[in-house]
Structures are given as C-alpha cells and as structure tokens.
Chains A and B, each alone.
Chain A
Amino acid sequence: MRPDKPGEGPAVLLGEVRTGLLQHSVELPLSATDRLLGLRHGERVRSSQRPNVQAHSPDLLTGVDCALATGSHRSVRGVGTVTARAVLTEGRVLQASVRARLAAAEGAQRLPWSHYLARPGTVEVIGRAEAPALADGHLTAGPGATLDLGAIAERMLTGIQGGGGLDRRAPFRSRRIRLRWTAVRADLAGEAPGGRLTVEDDTLRTLRLTLDRIDPAEVTAFCEDLALHDWLLSTLGRLIERSGLGSDPGPGPVLKLRPAVNHLMHLWMPGARVARPLAPLWDGLETRPGFSRQWAAAVQRVRDHLALQAVGLHAQPVRKD
C-alpha cells in the first residue's frame, strides 16, 4: 500500500454499520438522547433536526493489533485505533457505525501507543499489501483472528440497548442488519468510480465503493444512510410478510401492521444527509434495484389494505330480500 496523497484522503476505508430498532416503546425524545448517546464524559452528543431528527454519539476509539485479511491466505499486521459511533434517527432506529482508515506504516515494528493515539481512527499496515486486496479481505473475512469491526459495533449496540433509560418494550421484533463496507481510491483500484451493493444473506449486506477522493466522514455518513434505508425496507418487508397480508382475510394483518405505520413509514428519506459528491451513488441504487420504488410499493400496499379494511368495517352488508 502506498502512503496517502495530500488532498485525496486515505487509500482505503473499512467499515461496518449495524442497524436495529431502539428497544423502547415510543420514539425517544431528543432531550433524552443526550443521556443515551453520551457515551463519553465531557463530550457533546451532536444532533440535528433538519431534514429529520438525528443524533450522533461522540466517536469512541478501540485499540487493535491484529492480522488484516487480504482475500488470500496471506495476511498483514494492522496496528492502530478504529472509530465507533452510535447514530439514532427519529428516536427510533439505532445504528452502531465502526470505521478504520488504513495507512501504510513507516517501519516494520509496532511504535509506542501514543503514536497511534495521535492518529485516531487510523490502522497502520505493517507489511506489503495492495489497497484493493485489503478491501476485499474485509468484505469476505469470516469469523477468526482478523480485524473484527462488526464485534465492536455489536458491543456498542448491546451496550446502549441494555444500558438503562430504555423500557425494552419495542413495538415489534426485528433483526439487526449488518452492512460491511469498503471504500478504495479509484486510482489504486484501477477502476472507474462507483459502488457495488450485495445482499449476502438475510442479515448481511456488503458494499464496495470506488471513489476519486475519500472523505472518511462523508463516506461513513453515506454508508449509515444506506444501511438505515436497507434496514427500513427489509424490516417493513418482514412485517408485511409476517402480518399475513394477502392470506389472512380477517383483522389480524391490520393489527400486525399497525407498528409499521406508527413507527417506520415516516422514516424514509434516502440521501437526505449525503454529501453532494456521493449523491450519484444513491441515484444509482434508485435506478437499480430501486430502493424507493420498492418502499413506495410496500407502503402503498399497507395503506390500501388499511383503507379497504376501514371500508369493510364500516360498510353495511347489502341485503337482497
């Protein structure tokens, strides 16, 4: 890996976002998020109310010194810190977002720890490995001894969800969904800028970004936004499937869909917080597979059903005498 070029940001950024429903019966008001996300004494929770209500915890650092997967059997050593933060959207959807920028180490030895703390969020790579190989390694690594950003995210989510202040009476059951992502500078990847999103299984998606210039904060915000909307789409889909809509003619589906209407439907706002240079990535996903199209269809289906049920409940049966 080559050293960072000035003005182009890091060569490789690795990350993972885990998204889940806040375990609380109602939307958490903004005033209560300070306590929930105030994960570090003396640092402010960042919040904004436009275009939707979102709060960010301070960035927490975790020290690592371990092998980095390279997609082949060879691995290199990475030493440094990774950054983790929690994001709460509309007091309802909680995300833990972990990222690390990779940089080439200058020597072959680990340096005093204060060296790494002066470069927060950077993991220095000791040994020879190309940027695309490190990115691939992150996306394909199974559980093992290599860098595990997901475990850090998972601990953060569990810590917040179980940390008090929440009543743990969530309006419905839902899964946490993982988005594992990488961003590689286009000149190193030897590819044109773009993104590739893969649904690996029920709870895992991978995203591989190739960008002319990597701004860690902007790329992370984009991935958090994508993870949020993928979770919304998956979760609404599951609620509809489990509601029996389409098979159960009775009032069951309405009752089961109520939480979706109350808690999810207004959250859809793709790209609202995405920086301009990254906006084309969302546009691409809107074309294929068409996130908003699928969302709109699902929402319409729920609304139509609710409307029909309302008509059915109020209409008097017509009697033919």
Chain B
Amino acid sequence: MDTTFREVSADPRTASVPLSHLSLEIGHLYMDDFAAGPARLREQFARVKPWADAARAACTAPAGRRPRISTCFLIDDYFTRFSSPAEVVPQLIAEAEACGLTIDYLARESACAETDGCHPARLVESRLVESPPPGTNGSRPPTTATGWLSNGERSPGLDHLLAEAMGGDTGWRPPRETEARRHSVFLDVELWDEQHGRRTWSCPYLAAVWQLLRLGLLRDRGQEVLHPADRPETFPHSWDALPPLVRLNPHADPFAAYRTFSVLASRFLPIEHAVKIVLEQWAPEEPVLAQLAERAGQEGVPLPDDVIARVGYVFHGQP
C-alpha cells in the first residue's frame, strides 16, 4: 500500500494561457500621429499592410492546420494622454479596415506598467539577470547601475578610478560590449527614472514588457497577467475606463503567441535595440518555459529556447 502527501503551498501550480502561433503587431499610436489626423493613420496602415500579409504568409502551421494569428495595436496612454477612447478607437478600427487590416486586440501602454493591482513592469524587472562580463565568478555583486541596463561593461566610474589610483593604474577605459566581435556596439538603456518618489518606466522598457506579454511568458504569483476583456458596447470617454487589453474582434485567435512579429516605422529601431538588450537579460520562469516548450512540441511547432529568438520585426521607411 502506498500513500501520497502534498501541500499546495509547497508546490504551487503555474497557470497556462491560450496561445496563437503568431502575434502580429500592426502599429503603435502616439499623440503626434493622432493629432496629424485620419489621413496619417490610413497612410500608416497602408504601409503596414503588405508586410503584415508577408508575415501571415511566412507563418506556417503544421500540415493541414490553419495557423492561429492574432493582430494587436498599442496606444500610448502612459507618457501623454490625448483625446478619449470614444473618439480614437472607432476611427482606428475604421482606418485599419479601409486598408484591409483587422485589429484583433487593442492594448493601452500603461497596462505594461500597471494593471488591476498587477505590475507587469515590476515582474519583468525582478527577473532581469545581468549578463556577466568575463571574469565574473560570483565573489562580487553585479555592478548594477540602478535604473540602467547595458550590454557590456561601462567605463569605470569615479569610485573605481579613485580606488585604482591607489594601485597606480589610472586612466579612462572605453565601455565594452560583452558579446562584441572585436568592435563594440555598447548601449546603456535607461529603464526608469524617479521624480518626487514616483517611478516612470522608459518607453523601450515598456516595449520590452509588451513583447513578453505577447509571448505569454509573464506570470504574477503563477497567475495570468493580462486577460483580454470583451469589446464594450460603446467606448468610454476616459482611458482609465477602457480595459487594458480589449478583444475588438470576437473571433480573434488568442492574444499571446509562440512568436511575435512587429511591423514598425524605422524610427523605432533604437527603441527595439534597447528592447533586445532587456529581453536578452530577462530570465523566464522555468515552469512557464517548460509549459510552452511542451505545447509547441505537441503541436509540432518549432520553438527556439532563447526568448529573443522568438521576436521578429520589419522596419519600414517613412514617406
């Protein structure tokens, strides 16, 4: 006879989320774009359309299966507040449709920072594991610069220079990219700043959170972080009244996906370079990683281990 014993608090479960094959981002909306009028919106969607079609064509599902693809659109309500959902959203839907695009999910950027008592940005921050420069053996704490994340070693700071002065080794040293191939492309990303005790996350940092939300990799104490709300009858007059993530298309495939693809104007290139630096140093939760790998395996979908390899882009020029 055999007995088993288990305490849930000792072995908590991790929720799984429904997944598409591809999450296709068809734009960001900032105040400037909106202020420029509906013509600008239509022009942007028209520019995105061929690339979005290409991404659909490139997304292959196992033989005989329809690929699950959901599209999403992000509106900035974090750095600047403009107009209202009642005015913006219907216009957005109409202009996209006019160009042959369907927006399945609409998200507010502030949802990447905070939503219903959950802080996705903090969840991401707590799992950043900095890439160690060669020679890191654990004996010293990582040389973090609070609120910043880089892809290498910074130039030594004043403390270091003063300390080194004792040893007679002085002088400036250039920063160095850890994974440089001979020459460095060093980048230092500001994750947030603080004024009057209030933290404001940076745009590239929130963009990295956005990628992780779309990849279905975030959990808060094992639970799903951003659950899509159904489309309301009418759109509210304040952004706060709009759910952080709305399913505009009731027939849409799931929001999160194995891979993401974003069609962006080339001015977003520096932002997405910074996103790459954040994602490359973000450690996924093991159970979540295993969950996704298992499901991809069952579906026969290839899924790279590295999170960064699941993210794809097209950057298009501006008119």
Contact = CB atoms under 8 A, between A and B. Distances in A.
Interface in B237-293: 279-286, 289
Interface stretch (A115-123, A129-137, A183-191, A300-308): A115-123
A147 to B, nearest CB: 5
Contact of B309 (A67, A114, A143): A114
Contact of B137 (A47, A49, A145): A145
A296 B41 CA distance: 80
Interface stretch (A148-156, A165-173, A197-205, A207-215): A148-156
B179 A117 contact: no
B81 interface: no
Most buried by B among A63, A82, A146, A152: A63
Contacts of A294: none
A42 B126 contact: yes
A65 B289 contact: no
Contacts of A82: 138
A311 B270 CA distance: 81
Nearest to A149: B138
Contacts of A70: none
Most buried by B among A79, A113, A119: A113
A133 B144 CA distance: 34
Given A46-B9, A65-B136, A66-B135, A110 B179 contact: yes
A21 B127 CA distance: 28
A246 interface: no
A62 B142 CA distance: 8
B21 interface: no
Contact of A65 (B133, B222, B285): B133
A190 to B, nearest CB: 29
A141 to B, nearest CB: 10
Interface in B1-57: 5, 7, 9-12
B141 interface: yes
Given A48-B10, A62-B138, A148-B138, A41 B125 contact: yes
A315 B281 CA distance: 71
Contact of B7 (A44, A48, A145): A48
Interface residues of A, number: 38
Most buried by A among B136, B138, B285, B309: B138
B99 interface: no
A36 to B, nearest CB: 16
Nearest to B134: A65
B10 A47 contact: yes
A39 B286 CA distance: 17
Interface in A37-87: 40-44, 46-50, 61-67, 79, 81-82
A66 B132 CA distance: 9
Contacts of A47: 7, 9-10
B125 A113 contact: no
Contacts of B134: 65-66, 110
B305 interface: yes
Contact of A114 (B5, B10, B122, B306): B306
A298 B12 CA distance: 39
A50 B5 contact: yes
A65 B284 contact: no
B307 interface: yes
A63 B141 CA distance: 10
A74 B289 CA distance: 36
B132 A63 contact: yes
Contacts of B178: 113
Contact of B308 (A63, A112, A145, A155): A112
Contact of B221 (A42, A79, A143, A145): A42
Nearest to A117: B283
A66 B137 contact: yes
Given A42-B221, A117-B281, A120-B283, A61 B129 contact: yes
Given A46-B9, A46-B10, A63 B139 contact: no
A65 B125 CA distance: 22
Contacts of A148: 137-139
B280 A112 contact: yes
A49 B7 contact: yes
Given A47-B9, A117-B281, A117-B282, A41 B138 contact: no
A64 B138 contact: yes
A119 B283 CA distance: 9
B131 interface: yes
A44 B221 CA distance: 5
B137 A147 contact: yes
Given A41-B123, A47-B9, A118-B305, A113 B280 contact: yes
B138 A147 contact: yes
Nearest to A115: B306
13 contacts: A41-B119, A41-B122, A41-B126, A43-B285, A50-B5, A61-B283, A66-B135, A110-B179, A113-B280, A114-B280, A115-B306, A117-B283, A118-B307
Interface of B: 5, 7, 9-12, 119, 122-123, 125-127, 129-142, 178-179, 219-222, 279-286, 289, 305-309
Interface of A: 40-44, 46-50, 61-67, 79, 81-82, 110, 112-115, 117-120, 143, 145-149, 151-152, 155
